[in-house]
Amino acid sequence: MCGILGTLKFNSLDSLVQLPSSAFKALETRGPDGQGVWEGRGIAMGMRRLAINGLKNGQQPFFNEDRSVVAVANGEIYNYVELRTELQKRGHQFQGDSDCEVMVHLYEEKGEKFGSEMAGMFACAIWDQKKRKLVLARDRMGEKPLYLYRRGGELSFASEIRALCRLTKARYSLDASALAEFLLFEYVHDPKTPIEGISKLAPGTCLTVEGDSGRETVHAYWNFPSSCPIGIKPEEDIRGSLEIASRGILRSERPIAVALSGGLDSGLVLALAAKSAGQTGGLRSITVGYPGKPEMDEREPAKRLAKELGVEHHEVEISTEAVVDNFSTLVDASDDLLADIAGQGYFALSKKSSEMGAPVLLMGQGGDELFWGYSWVRETAQRMSEVAHGRTGGWIEMLLGRGNSFYANSPEIQRARRTLPIFSKMPSFGNIFRSAGKEWDRPDDPAGLRITRMISRTYLLANGLPLADRLGMAHSVEARQLLLDHRLWDKVLAHRAATPDQFLPPKAWLKNVAHEILPAWWLDRPKRGFAPPGKEWKRAILQKHGALLSGGAWAESGLLPERWIRRVMTLGQTKARYTDMAYKLLVGECWMRNIRKYCA
């Protein structure tokens, strides 16, 4: 796990490119264990390292045998042992034991399609000196970030916005449409960012940039396939895929912990990991709790499950006072613009994992998105199916027929729409709502596949995964997501295409598998997931930090009327309808103040 950065100057392949130390400094928590730099003609690439595998000899950059291919990488390749064995049989020689070293040799074998061979999470940059081209790639689900900035005759990249701003001296210029999305959804959809000119490389893609001309070519090596061969029951395929994924994801030379809530997904991750605890040197679990142990506190059942599985268990209690004190630090650590209050849980879990000496933290993200864990998402897929089969019509058909099916049923986003002003200088919130996520849609696919893709490429990609990655990296902790293994997704999507499952009970296929792995009492508990006292926390934060909104960055931007900002801020402390919007305004205010420090 690392942070990477670099700059390619077109038509300047004889000039020296230098990477400023301030850009590396911005990635320091992503890589506290070392730094690597490579400079060529018209290009420079660098990285900060968090050592997980190849502790003694896994330094970067990586090279092929004749050093004509050089790479820097961020992430973990879970099937690297198998890949390394095959590559060595073909004559490739390795300089160390890092999992990511397979990338340079896979590139030699497969070219721009090398990403399709790897199972894991990654963002990488490869410079081919013979062909004089830069190759940038990102993992299938988008677990690892890669930000891009194009200016004149150069392209720069980095693992975080802050580092990219330091690297390029990007101008502080806000994207009004991205800020509008943030106020509506509490995050910004890929590939946008709130800073004009900075974008994200799409997940599951490989971007090739020619060093002489700057010409770009994008190759998508994965995009939710639904044509894998199937011949057995879904549960059998799911069980087999989980077993394969769990073996790879536990490959680590450093201690591993598991984030355990009271739900199916994290419980399943812990049970699968516990079976392989011998090869990890011991496993620990961590659960979040709250003072006074209110109803949403899940420490007791989590403690019981860990004990039954023979796992050393730990707890971390989050107080309202700590949430208020951590607010500004958390906003800065998020790097991108995110207002999900669940970030407090990710922050606390990662901090505890770091304090325990476990820089690898397994999580259960992806289960809700893949197995219909969100009721409004499942209901959307059901309605779309009914429209497709002519069983309903009217307003639903009008709504769904325009690619806006996903967000129409989200209660949180509908509340935001009712709160936003129609007189702002931002782009139309109605247009933002109708267009959000449309680039990920495939109208000709079955309803279940369409909605699975939409939830994964919107809420999961732009909100859930960044929270886990950025807030883990704030404490130099690597978040790993067992339920995001692409081999599991390939199987489930193939079964879903053949046998739609949105009309089954929530997570039916996964629960059938879990009955063989988890105790019945755990599976019979009601779903809660991470359910913090969000309103209480938000109001406490607003009371302590709300004065920042007076004449601040929002007012300076001129995008929203100051009178409306003051009204929402006041009402947000007492009226539930306005609390979420007031909190998003405050997060945006702090984020804009912080990011400006990194920009020119």
HEC string of 162-212 equals: HHHHHHHCCCCCECHHHHHHHHHHCCCCCCCCCECCEEECCCCEEEEEECC
Residues 403 and 421 in one domain: yes
Q: What average pLDDT does the segment 4-33 reach?
A: 90
Residues 422 and 409 in one domain: yes
CA distances from 384 to 126, 362, 373, 449, 500 (A): 42, 34, 17, 11, 12
pTM of the model: 0.94
**In this structure, what are the phi and psi dihedrals at residue 504, rounded to the nearest 5 degrees?**
-80, 165
Residues 289 and 153 in one domain: no
Let me know if residue 180 belongs to a domain: no
Burial class (CB in 10 A: 0-12, 13-18, 19+), 521: exposed
Residue 433 binned pLDDT confidence (cut-offs 50, 70, 90) = low
Let me know if residue 181 belongs to a domain: no
C-alpha dihedral sign at 509, 510, 515, 517: positive
Residues 67 and 194 in one domain: yes
Residues 482 and 412 in one domain: yes
Residues 71 and 193 in one domain: yes
Of 336-345, 368-377, 410-419, the least confident: 410-419
Q: What average pLDDT does the segment 502-509 reach?
A: 95
Domain boundary among 532, 551, 572: 532
Let me know if residue 363 belongs to a domain: yes
Let me know if residue 67 belongs to a domain: yes
Residues 315 and 457 in one domain: yes
Query: What is residue 224's DSSP assignment?
Result: -
Residues 455 and 385 in one domain: yes
Let me know if residue 183 belongs to a domain: no
Instruction: Report the domain count for the chain.
Output: 3
Residue 580 binned pLDDT confidence (cut-offs 50, 70, 90) = very high
- State which residues form the domain around 209: 2-175+189-220
Each residue's pLDDT tens digit, 550-571? 889 999 998 888 889 999 999 9
Residues 324 and 386 in one domain: yes
Residues 265 and 383 in one domain: yes
pLDDT > 90: percent of the chain:
74
Residues 238 and 380 in one domain: yes
Residues 347 and 495 in one domain: yes
Give the strand order in the sheet containing 147-151.
35-40, 43-49, 2-9, 154-158, 147-151, 198-200
Q: How far apart are CA 154 and CA 507, in angstroms?
A: 47
Domain with residue 70: its CATH number is 3.60.20.10
Please determine, for residue 142, whether its predicted confidence score (pLDDT) is greater than 60. Answer: yes
Helix, strand, coil percentages (3-state) for the chain, rounded to 5, are: 45, 15, 35
Let me know if residue 81 belongs to a domain: yes
Please determine, for residue 226, whether its predicted confidence score (pLDDT) is greater than 80. Answer: no
Residue 152 binned pLDDT confidence (cut-offs 50, 70, 90) = confident
